[in-house]
Amino acid sequence: MKNFSNKDKLAILCFLWNEEKNVSELMSCSTISQSQISQYLWKMKLEGIVESKKNWKEVFYKVSDNKILEIIESLKTIFEK
């Protein structure tokens, strides 16, 4: 739940909600720095919240925990009203 108390980590999870993205793509849809995004992703990967796959030089991330996806869906439903 620590990831939901940090607005930047929550934003990253929301951006990864329905598709995988690399760090550059996450930077383009947020104001979070490259180093901060990379650090958050590394920590969330260690926690088992996101997973990564390498495609040549790029690393793509996606949410790996279905419970997190359900929480994000619920939050989107609440705030899109």
Phi, psi of 33 (to 5 degrees): -70, 160
Q: What is the pTM of this model?
A: 0.84
Q: What is the C-alpha separation between 73 and 6, in angstroms, rounded?
A: 18
Q: What is the pLDDT of residue 1?
A: 55
Residue by residue, pLDDT tens for the chain (81 residues) are: 566 678 899 889 989 988 999 999 999 999 999 999 999 999 999 999 999 999 888 999 999 988 888 988 888 888 776
The CATH code of the domain that includes 21 is: 1.10.10.10
Q: Which domain holds residue 23?
A: 2-79
Q: Are 50 and 66 in contact (CB under 8 A)?
A: no
Indicate the number of domains in the chain: 1
